[in-house]
Structure 1
């Protein structure tokens, strides 16, 4: 297993070196895969000097910008909003931009690999199209009948609270790719799609709840959930994903929503 390292400048002033006293040495163990070079997956160790209060994303940036520019991963806002940097860190789905090095035991190698259940395109990048297709299939938008209103569609605070939790989804796929059912059957809609259906099924302004329920009543729909709570544990936004799935199941049985 190769171990690239970042060499220190021998001419660094002593004052600058003293400012590095708070840094620690850690090992990032990254799963590498480049189909243009080889079909084999490799694990590469990178030794870094980092502030323990920095994030895993900062460590990945350091690798890419200073050690190995071929490392490939997705990221955008770096503030836990875009959801693009979901990956498996020490065996758990997390956002790299929200995971502090000090919180994942930097004394041992920190393993970083792509989320499971989706085809890996290169290194930490997966093909998100099946995930987004399931999202599109549940019609994640407001559907109403009649003429377009001349003013906003008002809603009470109580009606809004009914689905407020599921509006927090950022489509990072952390919940869906933590699901054992999804790993074994890529046709399953997955927790994220059900959460986004929930957001509109229980919206008092929407009029397509029955349609969405019928979509999720499919053999690859909501009944495939085995209530393992992996999805709830993986959600970086704290959404009660399993609870939302159970509420959709209940709505299917009672047709009350």
Structure 2
């Protein structure tokens, strides 16, 4: 049997789609230590893969104790929001090749919420704020005998804020929320906006009064962090401003 020449080995190596990438992950296990630590994992991976694929590879092949959330893995469920290279992103939508993989890629939990373990945070305060704005259609009177019709123009009025997937990327990118977890946060306001401006809903005034609270919409400092962080491209800051305007004018 002939031995492969050096040129052939180098050619095969050059043709490989894989690169060596280091993922610097912030680890926290309250059963082991009170403080979080950074841990590096170096793996071979195709740069066209996503950060979520890298986390899977680390968990399945290197360290099974690594803990993170994920569900659909297609940017719809919002489960895998985390800070990647210092920015809030969905791990399932972030390609490794877009992160300068020649340098260590940092991965840590989103800010402003209590870390339970590794990349998993306590989402209860986030979802409580969401529930508090009554994110459902409210009407009065008898049940209608036909569909509640709505014009295309009326639907377009709140179309942007229907895209929210409750990933918390916007809320956990907000400096106000970092400093005061009582603030409703951008995601709750976005979901209130979705119903305040729905022509079929009758509880707009009620939601506006909820957001008129000291921890409500007026806490926003218009830094645009939330808009930049949204993986769905929602104009979050614009929606917050529209809610502020509705509170002043009572027109919506």
**TM-score with structure 1 length normalisation?**
0.93
| Structure 1 CA distance for aligned equivalents of residues 109 and 15 of structure 2 | 31
| Structure 1 CA distance for aligned equivalents of residues 50 and 25 of structure 2 | 15
* Structural mapping, 1:94-243, within 5 Å: 94-243=89-238
Deviation for aligned residue 1:19: 9.3
Deviations 1:36-68 (A, max 9, x none): 111121110000111010000000000000000
Find the partner of 1:83 among 72, 78, 90.
78
Find the partner of 1:62 among 45, 51, 57.
57
Q: Does 1:247 align with 2:242?
A: yes
Deviation for aligned residue 1:20: 6.8
Residue of structure 1 in register with 2:34 after alignment? 39
Deviation for aligned residue 1:233: 0.0
Residue of structure 1 in register with 2:6 after alignment? none
The 3-state SS of whatever aligns with 2:126 is helix
Residue of structure 2 in register with 1:4 after alignment? none
Deviations 1:147-183 (A, max 9, x none): 0112211100000000000000000000000000000
| Structure 2 CA distance for aligned equivalents of residues 81 and 250 of structure 1 | 30
Residue of structure 1 in register with 2:4 after alignment? none
The 3-state SS of whatever aligns with 1:38 is coil
| Structure 1 CA distance for aligned equivalents of residues 200 and 192 of structure 2 | 14
Residue of structure 1 in register with 2:47 after alignment? 52
Unaligned runs of 5+ in 1: 1-13
Unaligned runs of 5+ in 2: 1-8
| Structure 2 CA distance for aligned equivalents of residues 57 and 146 of structure 1 | 48
| Structure 2 CA distance for aligned equivalents of residues 35 and 47 of structure 1 | 25
Deviations 1:178-209 (A, max 9, x none): 00000000000000000000000000000000
| Structure 1 CA distance for aligned equivalents of residues 90 and 222 of structure 2 | 23
Deviations 1:207-250 (A, max 9, x none): 00000000000000000000000000000000000000000000
| Structure 1 outlier segments of 4+, above 3 Å | 17-20
| Structure 2 CA distance for aligned equivalents of residues 18 and 221 of structure 1 | 57
Coordinate RMSD, CA, aligned: 1.1
